[in-house]
Amino acid sequence: MGRKNAALKGKSVLLVGGHGPLRMALQCLIERSGMTVQTNHWNSKSLKTQVMQADAVVMLSEGNVDIPPSWARPEAVIIHCEPALEPDDDIIDLSSRSGLGYLTAAYRAQNVVHSCSRWIQEQQYRPWRLHNLKLQPLNPVPNDIEISRAQMPKPVDRLAEEIGLLPEELEAYGRNKAKVRLSLLDRLHSQPDGKYVLVAGITPTPLGEGKSTVTIGLVQALSAHLKLNSFACLRQPSQGPTFGVKGGAAGGGYAQVIPMEEFNLHLTGDIHAITAANNLVAAAIDARMLHEATQSDKALFNRLVPSVNGVRKFSPIQMSRLQHLGISKTDPASLTPQEVSSFVRLDLDPSKITWHRVVDTNDRFLRKITVGQASTEKGQIRETGFDIAVASEIMAILALADSLMDMKNRLARMVVGTSRSGEPITAEDLGVSGALAVLMKDAIKPTLMQTLEGTPVFVHAGPFANIAHGNSSVLADKLALKLVGRDGYVDMPGTRSPSFSSPGSCIGQERQVGASL
């Protein structure tokens, strides 16, 4: 074996003497290079034979023990890992004095490089290894729930692995569904997008049948039968249509998302998060109007900017409001009485509040209500109402946001009404935009599920009625387009706008985004 540029694979190395971590480390490093390793002790009867057969001999000795030069083959390399010997032309001295420490450091650096290389390879796009589930169609065709329950879905972590997701990109919600983290977009940012297929139609009945079923049938045909990477992106159904005439949105027949019950009920709680966030804004509006109507400027200022351990500071949201008012001061004590009044009083006009509460049920008797009738509300009575949760502006924001920060900024800019002077009042003015982002931090992640044939589906958002814009969510589409690769497909349908939609909305039209091709 030559000194330089030697082919290492297949060579034999003999380790003589030594024990413990050093010997084990050397053996592992040598074997990793493709060489075979034998070990022996100094007093072994077979030592001479093994030395004569080895391409390299590494001596891990203490003291002056040595191997006679006549034992080694002329082309063999002899390496001493002990400090007593001096190097010559035929011996490589790797004692701690002459560089064993440097060799160890070099190998450690090499291991780091190999580990980094493996990590980088793992971050690249992974080809799909999708295992499809077999259908066993029956005649006559059973009802949808019977079909759904007859098929056992794959564990969601297995589905995720098949489509190239990393374990750390998945947040499982039980066995059948999981949230997908947005870090996937960073990992696959250079991956070319797949093709985008929009399934659209004008439905003939209040049931709104057709678009979801076509989308799921299409994605199953592309993935399970044509063996093309294909991803369906569907909206999360509201409990209103689920418990109403329509009865869910999982598809139908042998083109369904499974499990049907989990798809139609609660899922991962995104709509509940939207309900909580929306109603937090509504509560903040009424509370603010009550406090402004019953307290002085000084009392409001002390409530909004309390003294903590003798120190009074503006929050970042309050600093933003000051800038909006044209006040550049940062010390609360430096504000003039007029600036304090401008800061603490939103002066909302009760007749021009545009924000409603929401509930995820078709509860027609809540469409118009009167609030503030308790004695503790001190006469702050006004008319308002409830919308269905999926028609909240927060749902529209969830569907259109392309990152957590984008969603937070959009939430802050939501207009909830106008002041008596005609100025728009936003969620940021109310001081609740940060809390809204916290409530929505998990809802922004799409939910991974599967069809009856085991093909992947993203379920995300559910923009409804006047806020519907034609897909489930931007993030679900962006993620699916990256996962399917250059030659894959994303299919999507939309949701049906109800009869009370305003002019210009897509009444009776359902558009859904489904498969990524």
Residue 333 is part of a domain; what is its CATH number? Answer: 3.30.1510.10
- The reply to whether 227 falls in a domain is yes
Same domain for 35 and 168, yes or no, is no
- Helix (H/G/I), strand (E/B), else coil: 358: strand
Which CATH number does the domain housing residue 457 bear?
3.40.50.300
309 and 417 fall within a common domain:
yes
Query: Are both 164 and 226 inside the same structural domain?
Result: yes
Distance in angstroms (rounded) separating the CA atoms of residues 59 and 16: 5
Domain boundary among 68, 96, 115: 115
Q: Where are the beta strands (DSSP E) in 207-343?
A: 231-234, 251-252, 255-258, 307-308, 311-312
| Tally of structural domains, the chain | 3
Q: Is 473 exposed, middle or buried (0-12, 13-18, 19+ CB in 10 A)?
A: buried
Domain range for 84 is 12-115
Residue 101 in any domain: the answer is yes
Is the Cα torsion angle 174, 275, 236, 145 positive or negative in sign?
positive
Q: Is residue 257 part of a domain?
A: yes
Indicate whether 7 belongs to any domain.
no
Do residues 297 and 418 share a domain? yes
140 preceded by a cis bond (ω within 30 of 0): yes
Residues 181-219 as b/e (b if ≥16 CB within 10 A, e otherwise) read: bbebbebbeebebbbbbbbbbeeeeeebbbbbbbbbbbb
Residue for token digits 């007093």?
A: 43
pLDDT at 451: 95
Query: Number of helices and strands (H, E) in the chain?
Result: 18, 24
Domain identity same for 291 and 389: yes
* Pair (483, 435) in one structural domain: no
Co-location of 77 and 174 in the same domain: no
Q: Tokens 């962006």 — which residue?
A: 478
**CA distances (Å), 494 to each of 112, 127, 195, 209, in order?**
48, 29, 17, 11
- The 8-class DSSP code of residue 222 comes to I
- Cβ pair 85, 65 in contact under 8 A: no
298, 251: one domain: no
- CB-based contact 267:177 (threshold 8 Å): yes
Tell me whether residue 1 is in a domain: no
Question: What is the CATH number for 30?
Answer: 3.40.50.720
Q: Are residues 294 and 390 in the same domain?
A: yes
Residue 62 is predicted with a pLDDT of 58
Residues 207, 156, single domain; the answer is yes
The per-residue pLDDT string of the chain (517 residues; one tens digit each, 9 = 90 and over) reads: 444 445 677 888 888 887 777 777 778 878 887 888 888 888 888 888 888 988 888 887 655 677 888 898 888 888 877 544 444 444 444 444 444 565 666 677 777 777 877 777 777 787 899 999 999 899 999 998 999 999 999 999 999 999 999 999 999 999 999 999 999 999 998 889 999 998 887 766 666 667 888 899 999 999 999 999 999 999 888 887 777 777 777 888 899 999 989 998 889 999 999 999 999 999 999 999 999 999 999 999 999 999 999 899 999 889 999 998 999 999 999 999 999 999 999 999 999 999 999 999 888 899 999 999 998 988 889 999 999 999 999 999 999 999 999 999 999 999 999 999 999 999 999 999 999 999 999 999 999 999 999 999 999 998 876 677 777 899 999 899 999 988 888 888 854 443 333 332 222 223 333 332 3
Range 100-107 contact pairs with CB under 8 angstroms and sequence separation of 24 or more: 107/29
Q: Which residues pair with 252 in a beta bridge?
A: 255
In this structure, the answer to whether residues 184 and 325 fall within a common structural domain is no
Place of tokens 């049931």: 207
What is the pTM for the complete model shown? 0.74
Q: Is residue 256 part of a domain?
A: yes
Q: Which sign, positive or negative, has the C-alpha torsion 272, 274, 277, 280?
A: negative
Please check whether residue 258 lies inside any domain of the structure: yes
Helix (H) or strand (E) holding 510: strand 509-516
Q: Does residue 129 lie in a domain region?
A: no
The whole-number pLDDT of residue 205 equals 67
- 348 in the same domain as 252: no
Query: Could you give the CA distance from residue 245 to residue 250 in angstroms, rounded to a whole number?
Result: 14
